[in-house]
Structure formats: structure tokens, C-alpha cells
Amino acid sequence: MLTHPHNRSCFLLSVDDLDRLPGHIRRYARHLRSVAGWAEAYLSRPHPELGRTGPVCPYVPTSLRRRLFHLTVCTGGVERYGGNGRARLLDVIATYRDWFTELDPQDGSGAQFKTILILFPDVSAADAPEVIDATQAALKPSFVEAGLMIGQFHQLPPAEGGLWNADFRPLRSPVPLLAIRHMVPSDLPFLTGERQLLDGYRQVFGDDLPERYRAELDREMSGVK
């Protein structure tokens, strides 16, 4: 278990830590194990509705194998994080965003497999759009500018369809959560339609962007104001 150097309420667990949880987290043991199992059995494997070969998330199997897959818990439901509590939640997620950039590995090929999943076990499925989806939408621009992605997952699930099968809803998870990872060039389809996101993507990759993504980015930029 890792504890944030300046905010002891923020912590990170590996899958190996789930058999020795600290007392204040044990009540969420089943939620943490459920998400760890979902990462192994769903994210790390092919799905018949995905529309392509390979696992649902190509990065998760290596992230798990290299022990770069981190879990944490935000306690409290919509009464804490909805409405006037939104600013509190944005601050918490920003803390994890900044901490993510300080965790090893910070560069090299291994960095793209680093992941943080922030679980919200006290948020009901019905409240997930207000807490999870709205938070993801509010923070996505700042994440992209930092070269990161923030993803939203919950039971409803989120409305976004798959890239290869628009009828497939890949963002279903057993517990509402937000996921942090490094942005990669192939994330471009997740950023279309918003100038701010496209500008952030271009700023991050610049001249290192592969030619096929550069051409796609130019097409997208020409279609937004």
C-alpha cells in the first residue's frame, strides 16, 4: 500500500494488497476484489461484441502483470459529491492525477501501463451519471493537457459505444469508478468534436505523432471551431 506523501487520506493498493487491507478499508474488500476480478476476467480478455480481436483494454493485462495497476477508494455517495460537493470531488481526483505523474515509471515504455482506478462503492448506479460521468467530463480537458486520460465506468453503463461496434457498451463495471492512465496516440477517437481536447492532444504529442494520426487530427481540427 502506498500513501500520498502530503495527504494521508489518499492511498493506492495493488492487487496483492487485497488480502491484507488496513482496518478502515476492510469494509470495501468485496468491492475492491470485484473490480480486480473484473479487470482480469473482462478488461483483459476478448469480448464477442467488441468488434475487434484482443482484450477489451489492451493495456490492462500488462499493467496487472507488471504490478502497475493501482486501486483506491473514495468513500461517500451523491450526498457528498453531488451538487455543492462537486468541487470537493474535483480536488480529490486532481490530487490523484498529480500523484499519478509522480509514480514510477515516469517515462519509458513501461509508463503507458501505469493505471489508477478510483472506486466509489457508496455511489449507487442511479447516481453514477451525476457523480462519475459529470466529474469525468469536467476534468477531461485538464487531463488531456497533462497527457493523461480519465475514463468513467459504472453499472448502467455510460452511454459511449465501442470504437469498433457502436452498439457495444464497453464501460460497464461492477462498481462506479474513474480510471487514470497515460494518453497514447490511438486515443484520438475519444477526443473528437471538442477543440480544447484536440488542441491538448496536439500539444502533448507534437512532432512525435505518427503520420496516420497526424492526418486524422488535421481532419478533425478542420471540422471543429
pLDDT digits (tens, 9 = 90+) for 15-27: 999 999 988 899 9
Residue among 95, 173, 178 nearest 131 (CA) = 178
Strand 177-182 relative to strand 115-119: parallel, antiparallel, unpaired?
Answer: antiparallel
70 burial (CB, 10 Å; 0-12 / 13-18 / 19+) is: buried
The yes-or-no verdict on residue 11 having pLDDT over 80 is yes
Q: What are phi and psi of 12, to 5 degrees?
A: -135, 140
pLDDT cut 90: percent of the chain above it: 79
Distance between CA atoms of residues 165 and 120, nearest Å: 28
The yes-or-no verdict on residue 3 having pLDDT over 90 is yes
pLDDT in tens, 111-149: 999 999 999 999 999 999 999 999 999 999 999 999 999
Mean pLDDT of 5-24: 93
158 burial (CB, 10 Å; 0-12 / 13-18 / 19+) is: buried
> What is residue 146's predicted lDDT score, i.e. its pLDDT?
95
Q: 82 pLDDT band (50/70/90 cuts)?
A: confident
> What is residue 83's predicted lDDT score, i.e. its pLDDT?
78
Q: Is 125 left (phi over 0), alpha (psi -120 to 50) or beta?
A: alpha
Q: 62 pLDDT band (50/70/90 cuts)?
A: very high
* E strands present in the chain: 2-3, 11-12, 69-73, 115-119, 148-153, 177-182
